[in-house]
Amino acid sequence: MSDNKSTSSDYEYVNENGIDIELKCAICIQPFLLPVCLTICGHTFCKQCIKTWFIRARTCPTCRQYAISYVKRNNRLVQTSPYVAINTRIVTNQLDHLLIRCLLCDETNIQRRHWQIHQKRCAKRTVICPAADLKCSWEGTREALLAHLSTCTYYQMQPAINELRKELTTVQAVQNELKTSVTMLEKKIEFLLKFINHGQIMMTSCSESENDCKYNIINDLHHVWRFLCSICNEYVSRDQIQLHACSGNCICRSCVYSQYSNHRQINELSS
């Protein structure tokens, strides 16, 4: 059964007076729904009943003991839940087999465990139109739903609208893929333009005299010089540079590998 007791007002027990008092909650005086047992004293209540009770008083409604429990963890006292669920089969079976009558359609002798199944087929229960997501505001009994659906424009158009929604989702997915592809192509174009370097194509090695190239590692024995990468605009050391033009400008290793994943591609690019 649901933790919310709102649906219990839609049914009554067939023989409430004959139900064992031990199966009834002392707060609501009804058979237990999701029974829980207080760890401090062992008294049992509906879970929702005791949760509501604890809002105003942290004591057991029956014996008035202070219902707070602790456990010791890492030499510290930690507060724990004041109750535990009762899952004993002999108790849950007795509660599940209680007979109830639906107050909406008058069907009787329904086992309480089957109440939610009955709710889904009860002819007198109020339901909304299946096309409510399309702004159909109709609501009425389940037995009147069929007549409504035969004239509901929203419901009749729902399959076509749902199909369009699926197509829209597909189009949006394609658009996102295209945006990703465009972004990747833009980055490749930017990379290649920087690589061309106004006609001074960058290389993996010096194209001029090594002594005249500021990117030559011989000229930076202590790795103290920092060079600005043309792609990421970050300053890097000489050993991080993958491509350069001796006359100026360079591209760091990270930026090269982000566009070209293997050495063969890099060598073809700079050959």
Confidence of residue 79 (pLDDT cuts 50, 70, 90): confident
3-class DSSP state for residue 139?
strand
Q: Is residue 184 scored above 70 in pLDDT?
A: yes
- Span 192-196, average pLDDT: 92
pLDDT at 269: 63
> pLDDT (tens digit, 9 = 90+) per residue, 115-163?
999 999 999 999 999 999 999 999 999 999 999 999 999 999 999 999 9
pLDDT at 8: 63
- Span 182-195, average pLDDT: 92
pLDDT at 213: 83
- The C-alpha torsion from 81 through 87 and 92 to 96, rounded to 10°, is 80
**Average pLDDT for the chain:** 88
| Residues 6+ positions from 175 with CB-CB distance below 8 Å | none
Q: Is residue 5 scored above 60 in pLDDT?
A: no
Q: Is residue 6 scored above 90 in pLDDT?
A: no
Confidence of residue 199 (pLDDT cuts 50, 70, 90): confident
C-alpha of 122 from chain center: 33
% of the chain exceeding 70 in pLDDT: 89
- pTM, rounded to two decimals: 0.57
Residue at 164: amino acid letter: L
Q: Is residue 177 scored above 80 in pLDDT?
A: yes
- List, in sequence order, every residue forming a beta bridge with 100; answer none if it has no partner: 13, 110
Q: Comparing 199 with 167, which gets the higher pLDDT?
A: 167
% of the chain exceeding 90 in pLDDT: 68
Output DSSP code: residue 106.
Answer: -
Q: Are 48 and 3 in contact (CB under 8 A)?
A: yes
Q: Are 12 and 5 in contact (CB under 8 A)?
A: no
What is the rounded distance in angstroms from the CA atom of residue 92 to the CA atom of residue 115?
Answer: 15
In sign, the C-alpha dihedral spanning 123, 127, 130, 135 is positive
pLDDT at 67: 85
pLDDT at 217: 67
Q: Is residue 51 scored above 50 in pLDDT?
A: yes
pLDDT at 126: 95
Q: Is residue 96 scored above 90 in pLDDT?
A: yes
In the chain, the domains with their CATH numbers are 5-124 (3.30.40.10), 126-173 (no CATH), 182-270 (no CATH)
> pLDDT (tens digit, 9 = 90+) per residue, 214-237?
887 666 555 567 899 999 999 998
Q: Shortest CA distance to 35 belongs to which of 21, 22, 25, 20?
A: 25
> pLDDT (tens digit, 9 = 90+) per residue, 13-34?
999 999 999 999 999 999 999 9
